[in-house]
């Protein structure tokens, strides 16, 4: 009876002591946090009045272009 030998998934990335799947989890979590922050920031920017926008050097058109970007787009 022959047994198949399956290579184990890498448990460590080069230069890191963190297990491979933990690294993926942390990266995914960081990406989700970034996307959430973008969505919140764009919503808050869209809520600013024209006086504040002029003060920070933006127009309503600038804001609408930024606010209408998908959350994953920088």
The pLDDT-based confidence of 22 (bands split at 50, 70, 90) is very high
Domain count, the chain: 1
User: Is there a domain that residue 3 lies in?
Assistant: no
User: Is there a domain that residue 44 lies in?
Assistant: yes
**Comparing C-alpha atoms, which of 67, 45, 69, 68 is closest to residue 57?**
45
| Interval 31-62: pLDDT, tens | 999 999 999 999 999 999 999 999 999 999 99
**Residue-number span of the structural domain to which 34 is assigned:** 22-67
User: Is there a domain that residue 42 lies in?
Assistant: yes
| Interval 56-74: pLDDT, tens | 999 999 999 999 999 999 9
User: Is there a domain that residue 26 lies in?
Assistant: yes
User: Is there a domain that residue 16 lies in?
Assistant: no
Output 57-62 pairs: Cβ under 8 A, ≥24 positions apart.
none
What is the spatial distance between Cα 35 and Cα 63, in angstroms, rounded to a whole number?
Answer: 18
User: Is there a domain that residue 11 lies in?
Assistant: no
């Amino acid at each position: 009876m022959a047994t198949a030998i399956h290579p184990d998934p890498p448990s460590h990335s080069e230069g890191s002591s963190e297990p491979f799947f933990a690294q993926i989890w942390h990266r995914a979590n960081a990406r989700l946090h970034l996307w959430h922050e973008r969505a919140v920031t764009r919503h808050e920017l869209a809520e600013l009045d024209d006086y504040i926008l002029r003060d920070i050097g933006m127009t309503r058109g600038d804001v609408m272009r930024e606010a209408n970007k998908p959350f994953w787009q920088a």
